[in-house]
Each structure stands twice: as structure tokens, then as C-alpha cells.
Amino acid sequence: MAGKTVVVGCKLPHGLRIEIPGKGSYDLKGANSSTIMHPGTGRPVQGTCGYTPNVDEDFAKEWLKLYRDTPMVKKELIFIQNTLASAQAQGKEMADETTGFEQIDPTKKLLDGVEANPDAPKPEGTAAEE
């Protein structure tokens, strides 16, 4: 795999190993690898996406095609861009896109039959804290 390379963005918090049998694999960095500072507290919080540079473009495109029907690809939680700057711009645009792995806010109703606790501390880095 010595062709053109791309940057793969991954909004999943834990990242993901992508593999095509017989063609190799890449360990994608997840949002937990992108630490930013919370403007209100100055403490580090999880960023919006992880970025993995130098992924073979043909491999990335083939992997996205193979898994095009999965929610993570349909929702563009994993995406490719030609440059880190363009990947970061797409990640910023997707800041409000949910993955299903977000922290639970105990002050909000969670499920039917589960009561919210208005006195619970808010999770760090949430809009409730800002």
C-alpha cells in the first residue's frame, strides 16, 4: 500500500481498528485521543474526533464501501479527508452529532421508569456546565 494517503476522522470515543482481510489494518484514533481545554473550567475534556493520518486512500475507500450500511459509516462517524485541516473542519461541523456513547446526564430523564436527579452533578464538558 504505497499510494496516496488520507486522514481518517473518527468520532467514536474509543477509536476503531479497521481491517480488510489480506490487505492489512489501521488503528483509528477516537475522540478520546483529541483533548481540548474546557473554556469555563480550563480542565481537559474530550474533543469531537480523533484523526489518523497516513492511511492508504484506496484502503480507506474500500473499507468505507464494505461497511457503507453500518450506522457509523452512514452517520459519517468515520470519514476521510485529504488533509488534517479539512478533517478537523469536518469534525468541527459534526460537533453536535451523537454517537450513542455520550455521557449520561443524570439531571435529565433517561428512560421510562428511571427518574432524573436534579441534584446530581453535571458531567464535565457538557453544555449544562458551560
In a domain, 116, yes or no: no
% of the chain beyond a pLDDT of 70? 74
Q: Where residue 44 falls among pLDDT bands split at 50, 70, 90?
A: low
Domain hosting residue 70, numbered range: 5-93
Type of residue at 17: R
Residue pair 116/109 in contact (Cβ under 8 Å)? The answer is yes
Q: Are 67 and 53 in contact (CB under 8 A)?
A: no
Say how many domains are in the chain: 1
Q: Is 103 within the bounds of a domain? A: no
Spatial separation of the C-alpha atoms in residues 86 and 91, rounded to whole Å: 9
Residue among 7, 17, 12 at smallest CA distance from 33 = 12
The chain-wide mean pLDDT, for the chain, equals 83
The answer to whether residue 55 is domain-embedded is yes
Specify if 120 maps to a domain.
no
Three-state SS for 103? coil
**Is residue 78 in a domain?**
yes
